[in-house]
Amino acid sequence: MPHVDMVAEGRLYKLNCVLVKPRRGGKFSCERSIFNLRGRLVLFRPDLYRHQVSTIEDGSRWLLSIALTRH
């Protein structure tokens, strides 16, 4: 489901690095990203923009996700 991540205060930044892409499905989409390298490395503001991942239909999706809150 499309959603926005809530934070109590400050700005939330998230850096997602897709380590393993599924064979089918599992596509990340975001209304707006700061940086997007072919869907493999994405920096975005999950507190401002709706984002989601489609259903994985075949295979696995491995993700390294780093979140930073700035006050």
Q: Kind of pairing, strands 41-44 and 11-20?
A: antiparallel
Residue 44's pLDDT is: 98
Q: What does the alpha-carbon distance between residue 66 and residue 42 come to, in Å, rounded to a whole number?
A: 11
What length is written for the chain?
71
Q: Indicate the SS3 state at residue 22.
A: coil
Instruction: List, for residues 31-71, the tens digit of each pLDDT value.
Output: 999 999 999 999 999 999 999 999 999 999 999 999 999 99
Residue 1: pLDDT band (50, 70, 90) is very high
Whole-structure pTM value: 0.91
